[in-house]
Amino acid sequence: MPKPEPKPELLALGRRLRVERERRVGGRRTMARLLHDAVDDLQKPDPPAFIEYLKRWESGRHNVSHRYRAAYAAVLGIPEEELFGPSSPSEIPQDRSAAVPVGTVDSSSAPDLRDDDVKRRQLIQDAGALTVGAAVAPVVAALTDAWQASQPRLPGSSVSRAMLDDWAAAYAVHVRSYVNDAPAVVLAGLARDWAEMAPHLAQAQPKEVERDLAHAAARHAYLIAGTAVQLGDPRLANRWWLTARALADRSGDNLLSAYARTWEVTNRVTDPREDPAELLALAQDARRRAGHRPTGTLIYATTVEAEVLAFMGRHGAAVATIRRAEEIFDRVPASEPNREELLRFDQSCVYALAGLTRQAEEAQRAARRFYRPDTHLYSSVQLSLYAAVAHARTDPGEASRQALDVLEAVPPDRRIKRVTLTARRVLDVVPEQARRLPAVRELQALTA
């Protein structure tokens, strides 16, 4: 079926936009850059995308969505209502169910400025189909919308205190899923919450609300990035690492900024394609952001710096750094979380790679108190693999068989990257003369 011709009013608007742009700004490239800078949104497209938007708007094929009208008017120096005419009630966002749409609206197929909200709700339903079942997913989505609509909004804000608290509490639920479930299931749950938060992130909020919203969103964003790593999509992961950093910084919480960067390094460091020097710099930046006061976050940042050094083969520096983390741990006040589980896990890694078998075994025993197979599947598996690493120099055949047994006990859909790449650490320390042993070759084939 041929597309209908653009509506006359859109053609007229497009001509005026083109004339005003040429008269006041100049070329499309300049206008695109100015529009990009004028849109206050972490998730805004890159400047080249605005060139395509301009072509569509000026041709009359697409309307300018409400999201971009204010930026357009500000760049041209013309009041929004004078430039675009008065907004109809359907174009003005009233609440969460009519959130500010993203992008442009295609005039060739019955324009609806809430088109992106429809897509958002579809995403929530699709994600729900993976996490709670296809039959009840639409009901859960409808109940979520109804519950949020029933909560009184904070003054000057598009969200309620109950919504902010709900998203903050959801983080613990997603972490439990992250340490046990298949990455596709984890991502579906995160997508549901992110789709709910996203429209509010794009709107101006009171400072306190903006901080709380950014804090909750940052923690979701770095979990999304880590899950993208496990799915083998580094480009998607990079987008969300940058988003997590920006939101953490926007929250004003220095410890969260440090934690987001440390978590990023933890997830990226096992990938042999990553630049170790870049990751070391990022880990050191995280440690500096954590400050000097002894906290669990400072311990985590320090242990991950040690982990990077160990993966770089700088075992002396790695051991010195992990011992500095141990000193910080001893100084954390009893009233504060000390994140001992993170320290013990990274001790196991660093001491095993450095060939300090006794210290690695002690760290293993201590870490097992926190990481059980029924509550932390992936970390428990990694600990078992680091136990094999600790003996790979002295008994490469047995260590490789041990790693094979550990991997084969993990269901295929749970053999995520951080598991298989940890298994390859056994191969990193196997002596050269032992590489032709059958178990070593079998492990190499299984983890290739």
Q: Are residues 208 and 164 in the same domain?
A: yes
What is the spatial distance between Cα 358 and Cα 356, in angstroms, rounded to a whole number? 6
Q: Is the pLDDT of residue 69 over 90?
A: no
Q: Is residue 217 part of a domain?
A: yes
Q: Is 329 part of a structural domain of the chain? A: no
Instruction: Give the model's confidence band at 88: pLDDT under 50 very low, under 70 low, under 90 confident, else very high.
Output: very low
pLDDT band at 145 (very low <50, low <70, confident <90, very high): confident
Which pair of tokens denotes residue 292?
A: 């000097």
Same domain (yes/no): 196, 130: yes
Domain that residue 47 falls in: 8-94
Q: Is residue 262 part of a domain?
A: no
Q: Both 193 and 235 in a single domain?
A: yes
**Residue 112 pLDDT more than 60?**
no
Model pLDDT, residue 405:
92
3-state class (DSSP) for residue 88 = coil
- Give the best-scoring range by mean pLDDT among 120-124, 140-144, 420-424: 420-424
Q: Which residues contact 6 (CB under 8 A, 6 or more apart)?
A: 14, 59, 60, 61, 107, 108
- pLDDT of residue 107 exceeding 60, the answer is no
Instruction: Name the most confidently modeled range: 20-24, 57-61, 80-84, 339-343.
Output: 339-343
Across the range 108-118, mean pLDDT stands at: 45
Q: What are residue 62's DSSP bridge partners?
A: 106
pLDDT-derived band at 110 (thresholds 50, 70, 90) equals: very low
Q: For residue 247, what pLDDT band results from cuts at 50, 70 and 90?
A: very high
Same domain, residue pair 175 and 48: no
Statement to judge: residues 52 and 147 lie in one domain:
no
Question: What CATH number corresponds to the domain at position 20?
Answer: 1.10.260.40
Residues 138 and 79 in one domain: no
Counted domains in the chain: 2
Q: Which of 188, 223, 252 is the last residue of a domain?
A: 252
Cα 101 vs. chain centroid, distance in angstroms? Answer: 22
Residue 81: its pLDDT value, please? 80
Q: What is the pLDDT of residue 100?
A: 34
pLDDT tens for each residue of 32-67: 888 887 776 655 677 777 887 888 888 887 888 777
For the cut 80, the answer to whether the pLDDT of residue 232 exceeds it is yes
> Does residue 153 surpass a pLDDT of 50?
yes
CA distance 447 to 428: 12
Are 25 and 135 part of one and the same domain? Answer: no
The mean predicted confidence, pLDDT, of the chain is 84
Same domain as 217, residue 185: yes
Predicted TM-score (pTM) of this structure: 0.67
- Higher per-residue pLDDT: 374 or 262: 262
Same domain (yes/no): 136, 90:
no
Q: Does 341 map to a domain?
A: no
Domain for residue 158, yes or no? yes
Q: Looking at the predicted structure, is the pLDDT value of residue 402 above 60?
A: yes
Q: Give the pLDDT mean for 380-405.
A: 91
Examine residue 335 and state whether it is found in any structural domain, yes or no.
no
214 neighbors 203 (Cβ within 8 angstroms): no
Phi, psi for residue 167 in degrees, rounded to 5: -70, -35
| DSSP label of 375 | T
Query: In this structure, are 238 and 157 located in the same domain?
Result: yes
Q: Read off the pLDDT of each residue in 277-293 and give the average, rounded to a whole number.
A: 95
Range from 26-30, 106-110, 112-116, 178-182 that averages highest in pLDDT: 178-182
Q: Are residues 82 and 156 in the same domain?
A: no
Asked whether the predicted pLDDT for residue 404 surpasses 60, the reply is yes
Tokens of 291: 């400050």
Q: What pLDDT was estimated at residue 226?
A: 94
- Does residue 354 lie in a domain region? no
**Distance linking the first and last C-alpha atoms of the chain:** 50
Q: Judge if 168 and 211 occupy the same domain.
A: yes
- The stretch 412-439 carries a mean pLDDT of 86
Quick one: pLDDT band at residue 356, thresholds 50, 70, 90?
very high
pLDDT, residue 447, reads 82
From residue 187, how far is each of 167, 177, 227, 254, 309 by CA, in Å? 15, 9, 6, 26, 30
H helix runs in 231-333, sequence order: 234-250, 254-268, 276-289, 296-311, 315-331
pLDDT at 101: 34
Pairs from 159-162 (Cβ < 8 Å, separation ≥ 24) = 159/96, 159/200, 159/205, 159/209, 159/213
Confidence of residue 172 (pLDDT cuts 50, 70, 90): very high
Out of 206, 233, 252, a domain closes at 252
pLDDT score recorded for residue 127: 63
In a domain, 228, yes or no: yes
DSSP 157-215: -SSBHHHHHHHHHHHHHHHHHHTTS-HHHHHHHHHHHHHHHHHHHTS---HHHHHHHHH
Please state the rounded mean pLDDT for residues 162-172: 93
pLDDT-derived band at 140, boundaries 50, 70, 90: low
Tell me which of 67-76, 92-101, 319-328 is least confident. 92-101
Q: Which of 201, 221, 252 is the last residue of a domain?
A: 252
